[in-house]
Amino acid sequence: MRVVVTGGSGRLGRSLVTGLADAGHELISVDRAPVAELDRDGVRQLSLDLTDADATASALAETSADALIHLAAIAVPFSAPEDVIIRTNAALAQSVLGGAVGAGIRRVVAASSPTVFGYGAPRDWRPERLPLDETSPTLPWNAYALSKLLIEQTAAMLQRQTGDDVRFAAFRPCYVIAPEEWAGAPTQQGHTVQQRLDDPALSAPALFNYVDARDVAAFADTLLGALDDIPNGEVFMVGADDALAREPLSELLPRFHPGAADAASALTGTSPAFSSAKAARLLGWRPTRSWRTELAAVAL
């Protein structure tokens, strides 16, 4: 397929664009600025302010793309004022997803976030059950989480307008770890993977979730191939099969999230707080990497 990826210059974007290109797709990465890492065969980079709806609609129409994956967003909670985050991410959702529909792109995928579940809320978060999955209630408590839920709802709105003429899906990737971060590069929050393992307080705000960026790329490839065959508008969790922790979450979560103590008792062994079972069931996708294998490979 010819696939447009917005936010292709970002941490997840670079791995996703590279992985899809390696899988044989023709990629068009759209971001504010190109990156040298994507200067390769099978990838074209396009510089664009995606909040400009008219320019975005025109650029997307010119791509004649088969599919679009929307990653572009302010990607870290509280990294900008709350009004800026909600305004920017909402504008990007309408500009990009609406522009894709107007351009006749038939497969449209939007990246959301597990933060829509509302964990870490300052007024005592109490999950009904763990692990969290696509049926868990969405309870965003900050502008970033709300903007991610709004992205999902923008796709749902457009689906109601287009029916099955356009195939939509959304996915919620866990805390993304790029390949270079296994070797010690800082992760999204500025800590190394090793530091997040050594000090559980660093991973506790995200419930110790994570996923390798290359596994997300493999998920995206699988999803694109299946969009015509699965129910329209599905939402998927995408995470590793274990937690980014050396201790069981049944012991760790009550320490940092007392309101989750009862639900955490179900998380035995290395079980994560988020389940990707739906992706396995509908798509046949499973993550192939964990911190145990990737850190061991770096040590060799």
Where do the domains of the chain lie, and which CATH numbers do they carry?
2-177+211-241+274-289 (3.40.50.720)
Q: Angle 273-277-279 (CA atoms, 0-180°, nearest 5)? A: 120
Retrieve residue 103's tokens. Answer: 């351009």
* Positions in the chain short of pLDDT 70: 300
Question: Is there a contact between 193 and 181 (Cβ–Cβ < 8 Å)?
Answer: yes
Look up residue 180 and give its DSSP letter: H
Look up residue 14 and give its DSSP letter: H
Q: For position 1, what pLDDT does the model report?
A: 97
In the chain, % helix, strand, coil (3-state, to 5) comes to 45, 15, 40
Q: Alpha helices, DSSP H only, in 45-111?
A: 53-63, 82-102
Retrieve residue 76's tokens. Answer: 């870290």
- How many other C-beta atoms are found inside a 10 Å radius of the C-beta of residue 51? 18
Q: For position 300, what pLDDT does the model report?
A: 67
Tell me whether strands 67-70 and 2-6 are parallel, antiparallel or unpaired: parallel
The Cα–Cα gap between 276 and 282 comes to 10
The Cα–Cα gap between 118 and 210 comes to 17
Q: The tokens 């099969």 sit on which residue?
A: 241
- How many other C-beta atoms are found inside a 10 Å radius of the C-beta of residue 298? 13
